Structure 1
Amino acid sequence: MIPCAKPSVQLCFQMATIASFFENVTHNTSGTTPGHEVLLGAQLCRDRNGYTSSSFYNALTCAFCFIYVFADYNVSFDFRTNGLVTGKNTVYPEGTRLDTDVNNSVSVSAVCGLLQDPWECWKWQTCCRQARDCCQQQIQANLQPSTGGKCPATWDGYACWPETAAGQRPAIHCPSYVPHANTA
């Protein structure tokens, strides 16, 4: 059996999600660690690009999980008003919408349909769930007032780095879904 060529796909977000995020105003609240911004009326989570609302963070980090974990799949994503999948050699007809929501079985089936086997599907879903867990940890930690200079907790695209006191270096184990990871 000849293996299928890896697809070229764009993962898209609906513009309404992005527009509602940017309609909110950000500001720095006194008494918080510098860089800890608060989005009025929303809970914030931080990834390598900064703070976003938790709902936008979940969509964004899950798309990035696909891009980072499967870098050789030639995948990109685009912010489009129609939320449609586009790209060369896609396995879906033109006009198909592909969401990266691991809590939606239809979305999971669509995304996993791009992958070669169930192990790859597991890696993508695990990365997405780890990103969501990181967001929840950040939200819970932000309920407590921060004292002293600290670097904020951050999802770097592969793993969750904890809030760390200035001058300290945290260490984490490399997740099993990271390509070429030595988890021993």
Structure 2
Amino acid sequence: MPQQSPSNPPPPPQWVIDLNSPPRPKTKYTNITNPPGYTEASSGKRTAASSKTPARKPPTTAETDVLKLKKSWEIALAPAKALPMNAIMMYMSGNTLQIFSIMMVFMLFKNPITGILTTNEVFRRFESEGTRKQLWVVKACYVLMNCVALALGVWKVNGMGLLPTTRSDWLAWETERQPLERVVFAFR
């Protein structure tokens, strides 16, 4: 093996040369035929015909308003879409007082209350001159769906026995009954 002089560094490996050099252009005519259905235009290369297609025109304000209303309805109905999952989770967590069921009920009350309080902020990005009149119906539906979610939370709290719904729950405020008549027993 010949030794190299210190003035001539060793040549770089082949992979470095391949990495630094641009790829070789593919020839148009090869022995391999294109697969059925393959055309040069579909390969991702831009041809003169495909570059002449007109650019898409921007949407009109009416089209934008329609899209904003559709998206706002999706957001308004989102609490209703979560109701079946929440109902199954509440049913499966049981009616005993455990940390898991308490946390579930807390989240079941927190999310709808937060949603109701931030209704205007949620729909602010969809407001425009064309959608303002129709957006109040969407907001009302959103608030209604959050109220249904709150009702599910009330159902769960009642099932856990935490709502004072019986007379015995209010005994501290009951007064002693005073009889209207006195019964006097006379023994002779």
Give the structure-2-normalised TM-score: 0.29
More strand by share: 1
More helix by share: 2
Larger Cα-atom Rg: 2
Give the structure-1-normalised TM-score: 0.29
